[in-house]
Structure 1
Amino acid sequence: MEKHMLPCMNKQLFGVECPGCGTQRAIAFLLEGEFYEAFKIFPAIYTLGLFFILLGLHLLDKKRNYAKLVIASAILNGAVILIAYLIKIYFNTVTN
């Protein structure tokens, strides 16, 4: 499955990983049942899943209003992505 994954254009062009690097590999690990490995590769994988579940409910269930939950999960997801990215950058600069 890994040979069919798309490369990160940011990493190819600029040599720096983007905040979304690891998403495809994390999804592959989830599909294989490797939940801890998925979290190690891309910590926001679970908040991203929560976001898409809430977004799907918001689009499909018109009787209830999920807008606030969708916004809250989007903010949470963005915060997790940003924090994980900053930690990744910090540890890459410290080790190099």
Structure 2
Amino acid sequence: MLPCLNKKLFGVDCLGCGIQRALSLIFHGEFIAAFKMYPAIYTLLILAIVVVLNFFYKLKYAQKIIGILAAINILIIIISYVIKMNQLF
């Protein structure tokens, strides 16, 4: 796995820490562990699927769907990061 530069330099997790391990867990069939590792993993996968589908098939409401999914992802990532940081201190 690629090391987190932020964690290596500053000793603090970044907002993306855990996404590689969560993807690996999904590929190994450990879906609950993947969610616990990185709670936004499933909404990020849905967002990626919508973006790829829109690239090939030009979905009717794609921009609205992508915007909503992006906002949901940002909220999940920030909330889970704050919770993780509060558990560390």
TM-score (structure 1 length as normaliser): 0.89
Give, in angstroms, the shift of residue 29 of structure 1.
0.2
Alignment size in residue pairs:
89
Aligned to 2:60, what secondary structure does the other structure show?
coil
Unaligned runs of 5+ in 2: none
Distance in 2, Cα, partners of 1:72 & 1:63:
15
| Max Rg structure | 1
CA contact (8 A) 1:54 1:66 kept: yes
Identify the residue that residue 17 of structure 2 maps to in structure 1.
21
Identify the residue that residue 31 of structure 2 maps to in structure 1.
35
TM-score (structure 2 length as normaliser): 0.95
Match of 2:87 among 79, 87, 91: 91
Larger deviation, residues 58-67 vs 10-19: 58-67
Alignment root-mean-square deviation, CA = 1.0
Unaligned runs of 5+ in 1: none
